[in-house]
Structure 1
Amino acid sequence: MRWLVRRVHRKGKGQVSYEDDIHFGDVLTVGRGASQAVFLTDMRVALEHAKITSLSKGKYRVESLIEAGVRINGGIVHQATCAAGTQIELGGFRLELLEPPEDYDAAVEISQIDKSEQAAEIQRKRPPTSLAETRLSKRGPAWALFIAIFLLFLVLPAASHYSSGLSSLLRGSPLPSRDAWMAGELAGAHHFFQSECSACHSEAFAWVKDGDCLTCHALTPAHADPEVFNLPELGDARCAHCHRDHNGKTALIRGDQSLCADCHTDLGTRTAGASTLGEATDFGEVHPEFKVSLPRWDAQGVFAPERVTLAADLKEGSGLKFPHDVHLDKEGINAPSGRRVLECSSCHVPDAGGAIMKPVDFESMCQDCHALSFDVTEPERQVPHARITEIFYMLDEFYARRALEGEVKDESAPVSLRTRRLPGQSVQPQQRQLALTWARDKARQVGESLFTGRACTVCHEVSPGRTTEEPWAVAPVRVSGIWFPKSRFDHASHTTMTCAGCHAATTSSSSEDLLLPDIANCRQCHAGDEGGHDKLESGCITCHGYHESDHLLQVDLQ
């Protein structure tokens, strides 16, 4: 198919010239890319913007190749079947589809849209922006607006308050009812029904009842499990005691310290000794020492963490041997690549949310310095980390191949294995057996050296294994992922602090040191919300959530 592509060039004083080109093919592609049949030099045009297909003489199909579509005869479309005379606008260019002249199957004319024409079109579409551009006066609209506001937002709501029929009518119409007199902005979660007062207020001008809340929140976890917290203050408390709406988008949950302190005062006496919790009425003045969750496993191997009070002599049995002070030496450590200075961030990287740290990864954080190479003749070869069976399989395979190929560079190997074999030379059965026996013994010797001497035992507790496949056993690493499960803490909020400000890692020579900050450390910056104006005021809900049951829902308490 033969296309006529005509470009119109306008010069000064109304002069016009034409440049004709010929394109062969059923489809004419249009865009800013150099590969397009019609190349348009306008940044508002996509690289591949549209394509035009000739259906027959004078009839075309225009298709957009981008989500924004194309403007055809003033309207935005994604595809259309057009006749000759149709105008397509792309950026500052106009393409007009033509009746093809003789010897052509299709034709298109390309011209630039005049800037004055563009400005006139924008001005034509611009709505009036001042009263001076209309036939209205200033005083008339002002009085009309005043009367409309007076009737719509004062007379109608007042009348609907005293007439139930009118109230129902207005609620079903776009006109304002007494909802226009809402006491305050609703919480963000309640915005979608903010015009329906009865959604929460089953009685007009009355407090919201707990049953009204459960219409939507029946499946919310129970805030106060009566079996655990057998206290009237919790069981008889209204939802609205803690959740008060009409106070803005983020003020639905009470955050004042007295909400918690009223109950957490003298708990031992008030619960007849049932509660073992300490007094907690103000973080800066009255709050017990932190309790941490240490990883523990019962006799059956089930994870059963133990909560203990944080103390300076508290130790962690993680199964690791790691001296922080050596790795954080200001002078650096000796690494294969030279002297290297490590920082806390070299091994401790926050997760995506910034709350906790990702687990330390041996391959990306440790292996640069602690290479698991096993043979001096091939130092780049390393055994895999933490996979004992694979380690001995690799060693057996490595030394068996070396023994069978010959020229073993080891004085302990038999002479026949240290002799180089010619390529293709067969190995006698007796030599093969001798080679495999030596390789097996060598693999076990190297494995013992790795596990008990120069590799594994540097960081791990190693003991003899129980099987030939795993002749050595490495104590599992058991580090707690979350030390304070009863509280909230994220490192992202403490980026202004240095790691050493909370963790005394530079003075720790043993991985048994817990290195967690105690309450005195936190009180250097944080105080309760009723005092300490030179510190960050922190109420109870800054770190703690309300009581939530693990198995009960709100509807279960009704």
Structure 2
Amino acid sequence: MSFILRQISKRVGAPDIVREKPLAAAEPVIGRGSDCDIQLTDLAVNLRHAVLKQAGSGRVTVESLGQENFEANGKFVTSASLALADTPVLGFGSHVLTLSAGDNDTVLVLATARENFAATAAGDDQKRAFSLKHALFSPRRLAWITGIFILLACMAFPIGVFMLGNQHRTISGAAYKQWSSGPLSPGHHFLEKNCESCHQQAFVSVKDSACLSCHQAGLNKLEAAHLQTRTRELGSPFAPDPAGDHAPRDRLMAASPPDPNLARRINTWVANTFSHPSNRCASCHTEHVGTGKGADGAVPAPVKPDQIRRNDCKDCHTGMAQRLAENGTPTTIPDVTDWGHHPDFRPVITTGFRGDKPVLVRTALSAGLKENDGLTFGHDVHLGTKGLVARQAMELGKANGYGAALTCDNCHKPAPDGGFVAIDMSKNCGVCHSLTFARKNGVDQQLKHGHPDEVVAQLKLYYAHQPNFSAGPEVFIGRPGLSRGTPRAGRPVDYVIDSVRNAFERGGTCTTCHTFTKPAPGSLEYKIQPVRLTARYLPSGDFDHNVPEHNKDASGAQTCKSCHKAESSKLSSDVLLPKIAECDTCHGKTKAEIAGAAGSDCAECHGFHNPGLPASPRSRELARNAMIRTD
């Protein structure tokens, strides 16, 4: 014989809910506890009130597990032997259990709620026992007393201490502390006892002007130095991060999509009405939330305040063009709904020079795109495994950092900011492309790089102090292994003219990499074409080459060539920037698609507070000093 529990929940104006389940226990326990087989949620029922037992064919017994009785067929007892043929009824508080014989020698236990139990004396006693009406204070009176106490303790007391002055510093500190909603984040912890730095006006939310007093962007060097001095005087261990506007405030509001939730829109309107706008710095960057330690108490928490996202990038950049056009401020920035719809890169390239300053143009990344960087250079020659360059690198040996054919990292050294250290002629090129023009007393005499006028002056000065020109100088300018011939013997000026031409004329040492404008007849004023080596083609992005997945494969080998086709590039004007399709192989994918799927969050490459500037200081300086226009 086994037991089956059938629970019926009645609903007003709707069909009853019936739940049925077999009971695994041979002797099911009835009670309020969660471990009971038949659980009855009623305070009038003990945790383990009674137990059902089989008593032969067609009979069951019910026994109380404590001193509490129960109702059996209208009588209160502590045990009962019942015949299933009589359909006995058990009562436990507000619950009724009706027993009957089921199919296949089972006992059916039908559980229902007692009708109008709340109106019975037992129900009234239960409500009275757990009511606050007969306590010392009624809920209304208790609420008034508590409210008045809080008002006195949290407002009158601090105001009184303030009026008395600072002679009670201990009391004053305790009075102020109760107004704090929590400790500041580690980045702002030095302001813990300087509330007025941010809360500049009583009962008014922190204004943007308070934030920008430290985080103002676009300062010149002198202003930035003064700001850093002031923040250090306040106790800051580091200079504050400048936070530029993503866009003008009215343009940001026009580009933001309307909140689809009516309740939130109403809440925003009320907040704006009562001087708590939702477009402040503090709307996204919340404070008084950090203790300086992580959840486990050991790992340091993030230095910056918590960030709350009202809208993420795609929320605003989906349909943004239409919203701005309707607002009368159209934009040429295309909509980006997700990674899969990101437009291809538009690199900033050098198209020429205006004087010594490069003219930069942002243009579409097309096949065969060229720039005019002013340099003569071929990656294919330098990265080839055969030929003069490879042989010379082998001859230089490992002692000089070579010993084999050149690879990318021979010249491109990673920088801490995710880019590369700027190419330096003396460090990266000078080993092969020597600037030595003579050797005096066993010491190499080297020309200054990058300034033809200084080169001419240096040669004049050198030859003017030579006592004897009949034999000529020991060594003349030239690349190792290449002879430039011997200048004619004669006056010092002849040596100067020959040496200058040997450097700047076609086939000369400097013309290997640079282009010169010839001087007027009788003049030595050669003009060199300016050179600009592109440090970052995408100044509005922040690609980090130091990420291991960006520079090495699973075996640790360099992966430069998988994105940059330098081995086949014959000209320095080639724009060796991959298309965004190369990024798609990892970004924008799921782990189910590829095991090495990378994140696709916009903030991995773009900074919100520097939308027109790169996130890294190196590229930010580049974009600030260059003349950038869009085609």
Q: CA deviation at 1:515?
A: 1.4
Q: Which residue of structure 1 lines up, in the alignment, with residue 209 of structure 2?
A: 214
SS at 2:381 equivalent: helix
1:486 corresponds, among 519, 525, 540, to 540
Q: 2:574 & 2:537 partners in 1: Cα distance?
A: 14
What amino acid sits opposite 2:575 in the alignment? L
1:334 aligns to 2:356 (yes or no): no
C-alpha change, 1:227 and 1:217, in structure 2 (3 Å) is closer
**In terms of Rg, which structure is larger?**
2
Partner of 1:90: none
Structure with more relative contact order (C-alpha pairs < 8 Å, separation 6 or more): 1
Q: 1:244 aligned to 2:286?
A: yes
Q: How many residues matched? A: 366
Secondary structure, in 3 states, of the residue corresponding to 2:567?
helix
User: Which amino acid counterpart does residue 371 of structure 1 have in structure 2?
Assistant: S
| 1:368 and 2:431 correspond | yes
- Determine if the alignment matches structure 1 residue 354 to structure 2 residue 417: yes
Match of 2:65 in 1: none
Equivalent runs, 1:170-185 vs 2, <5 Å: 173=170
Report Cα offsets for 1:35-88 as digits up to 9, x if no partner. Answer: xxxxxxxxxxxxxxxxxxxxxxxxxxxxxxxxxxxxxxxxxxxxxxxxxxxxxx
Instruction: Tell me the equivalent position of 2:509.
Output: 455
Aligned to 1:165: 156
| Partner Cα separation in structure 1 for residue 176 and residue 592 of structure 2 | 42
Corresponding position of 1:265: 318
The residue that corresponds to 1:544 in the other structure is 606
Which stretch has the larger CA shift, 269-278 or 218-227?
218-227
**Aligned partner letter, 2:519:** G
Name the CA shift for 1:367/1:380 in 2 (closer, same or farther; >3 Å).
same
Unaligned runs of 5+ in 2: 1-144, 163-168, 218-243, 257-276, 291-300, 398-402, 475-487, 553-557, 613-631
Give the secondary-structure state (helix, strand or coil) at the position aligned to 2:367: coil
- Structure 1 residues 531 and 183, CA, compared in 2 at 3 Å: closer, same or farther? farther
Q: Deviations over 1:140-188 (max 9, x none)?
A: xxxxxxxxxxxxxxx9999546643346579974686796797666433
Aligned to 2:347: 292
1:327 CA drift (Å) = 1.4
- Give the match's secondary structure for 2:317: coil
Structure 1 residue aligned with 2:251: 229
Q: Distance in 2 between matches of 1:306 and 1:447?
A: 35
In structure 2, relative to structure 1, the CA distance for the partners of 1:227 and 1:169 (3 Å cut) is: closer
Do structure 1's residue 279 and structure 2's residue 335 form an aligned pair? Answer: yes
Deviation at 1:276, TM superposition (A): 0.5
Gaps in structure 1 of 5+ consecutive residues: 1-154, 411-433, 551-558
Give the match's secondary structure for 2:507: helix
| Counterpart-to-counterpart distance in 2, 1:178 and 1:396 | 76
Does residue 571 of structure 2 align to residue 510 of structure 1?
yes
SS of equivalent residue, structure 1 residue 536: coil
Letter in 2 for 1:349: K
**In the alignment, residue 165 of structure 1 is paired with which amino acid?**
A
Please give the alpha-carbon distance, in whole angstroms, between the structure 2 residues aligned to 1:173 and 1:529. 57
In the TM superposition, residue 519 of structure 1 has moved relative to its aligned partner by 1.8
Per-residue CA deviation, residues 485-510 of structure 1 (Å, 9 max, x unaligned), is 22223333347533334322223222
Retained in 2: the 8 A contact 1:160–1:166? no
SS of equivalent to 1:295: strand
Q: CA deviation at 1:317?
A: 1.0
Match of 1:509, SS?
Answer: coil
Q: Is the 8 A contact 1:505 1:515 kept in 2?
A: yes
Whether the 8 Å CA contact 2:514–2:529 is kept in 1: the answer is yes
Q: How far apart are residue 453 of structure 1 and its match?
A: 1.2
Contact preservation (8 Å) 1:159, 1:166: no
Aligned counterpart, 2:295? none
Matched AA of 2:186: G
* Aligned match of 1:25: none
Q: Which SS does the other structure have where 2:391 is aligned? A: strand
Match of 2:498 in 1: 445
CA drift at 1:394: 4.9
Query: 1: distance between equivalents of 2:331 and 2:589?
Result: 23
Show the 5 A alignment for 1:392-541.
392-395=456-459, 404=468, 406-407=470-471, 436-437=490-491, 439-451=492-504, 452-466=506-520, 468=522, 470-494=524-548, 497=552, 498=558, 499-527=560-588, 535-541=597-603
Q: Please, which moves more after superposition, 480-489 or 531-540?
A: 531-540
Match of 2:186 among 185, 188, 195: 188
